[in-house]
Every structure is written in structure tokens, then in C-alpha cells.
Amino acid sequence: MHIHRYEKLWLGLSLLLIVGFIATITYGAVGAGVTMVDNGETLNPNDLGDHPKFGDPGVEQVGPNEYDVYVVAQQFVFRPGTTIAGQPPITVPANSTVNFYITSADVIHGFSVVGTNANTMAIPGEVAEVTVEVGGPQEYGIVCHEYCGQGHHNMEGLMQVVP
Ligand code: CUA
């Protein structure tokens, strides 16, 4: 009887340790300026049009100073972001928390908001998640840093932090 109770206790402690390790690793990655977090969601890259968020990706306010930004990377466009391809820029207000959720509709791409800690891969079937605290008004370039085909070197976008 008592053994069961101790086993539960140990199980609980083990779980706490695991959570602690993961938190340490995640925090360490943020501190190093490179964040690659996958929230574990899987989705069909061929069927993003029906997805509640990636079907119409963009900026969504989720708190007083917090925004979720859904981005689809595809050859050779970020939706939203790639203004030269007719996409709107990613526009968020100054001094806010911006949670990016990034996936790919075709091959592996990169997603780097230059000058911030947002630097991850966009993998078909997966959702990468990275949070950026933005300061004052500024424009940021977005680049694809994974070779994704002939148009790779021109795959870029724009984020505007506005007053
Ligand atoms: Cu997309 Cu390189």
C-alpha cells in the first residue's frame, strides 16, 4: 500500500525534473538568441487552406499587448510578409509580445526576423513557435535561411513595428 504512494511521489518528482530540464534547455536557447520550439502540433501541409489559423494566416491580437502571428512559408513567399509578392507586411504595434507560429506548405524553409531572436525552420507538417518582445517602431527584414530551391535567395519578407 505504502509503496504505491512512494512510487507516485517518485513519479511526480521525476516529472518535475523532466519539466525543469526542458525549461532549462528552452531558456538556454532563448538566451543564445536562437529558438527552435515545436509545439508538437502536426498538420497536413497539403491541406493548410482548411486550417483555422493557417488557412488565412496573419496577425491576431490575443492580449492587451500580445499578438499571435501565423506565417506560411512556401516557395518562395512568406504569407504574410513577402511584399514583393503582393503579401501584406507583418505589422504589429510597438512594445508588444509577438508569438510566431510558422509552418511550410511545401519544402523546408527558414524563418529569421533579422535582429531578433526569431530564427527557426519552417517544416512541412509541423508548427514552429517563437516569441519575440518588440520595442519601438522599426522595420525588420525576414529571410529564409534554408536552401529551398531556385528562388531561395530572393525569399524574404518585412515586419513593421508601428507606433
Ligand atoms: Cu525558402 Cu530558402
For residue range 92-105, list pLDDT tens digits in order: 999 999 999 999 99
Q: Is 134 in the pocket of ligand 1 (CB under 6 A)?
A: no
Please report, in angstroms and rounded to a whole number, the separation of the first and last CA atoms in the chain.
63
79 lines ligand 1 (CB under 6 A): no
Instruction: Give per-residue pLDDT as tens, 121-154.
Output: 999 999 999 999 999 999 999 999 999 999 999 9
Segment 43-67 mean pLDDT? 94
For ligand 1, whether the C-beta of 148 sits within 6 Å is yes
| Grid cell for residue 76 | 518562395
Asked casually if ipTM beats, i.e. exceeds, 0.90, the reply is: yes
Report which protein residue has its CA nearest ligand 1's atom 1: 109
Please give the Cα distance from 81 to 98 (Å, whole number).
15
Residue 59 contacts by C-beta under 8 Å, 6 or more apart in sequence? 67, 68, 69, 80, 90, 91, 92
- Mean pLDDT value of segment 1-5: 63
Give the pLDDT band of residue 6 (cuts 50, 70, 90).
low
Cα separation, 29 vs 120, in Å, equals 11
Burial tier of 155 (Cβ tally within 10 Å: 0-12, 13-18, 19+): buried
19-33, 84-98, 115-129: least confidently modelled range: 19-33
Residue 123 has, within 13 A of its CA and on its CB side, a CA count of 15
Whether 147 lines ligand 1, by a CB cut-off of 6 Å, is: yes
The overall average pLDDT reported for the chain is 86
Cα 39 to Cα 1, 13, 97, 128, 135, distances in angstroms: 38, 24, 18, 7, 25
Does any ligand 1 atom lie closer than 6 A to the CB of residue 111?
A: no
In this structure, the number of other CB atoms found within 10 A of the CB of residue 145 comes to 15
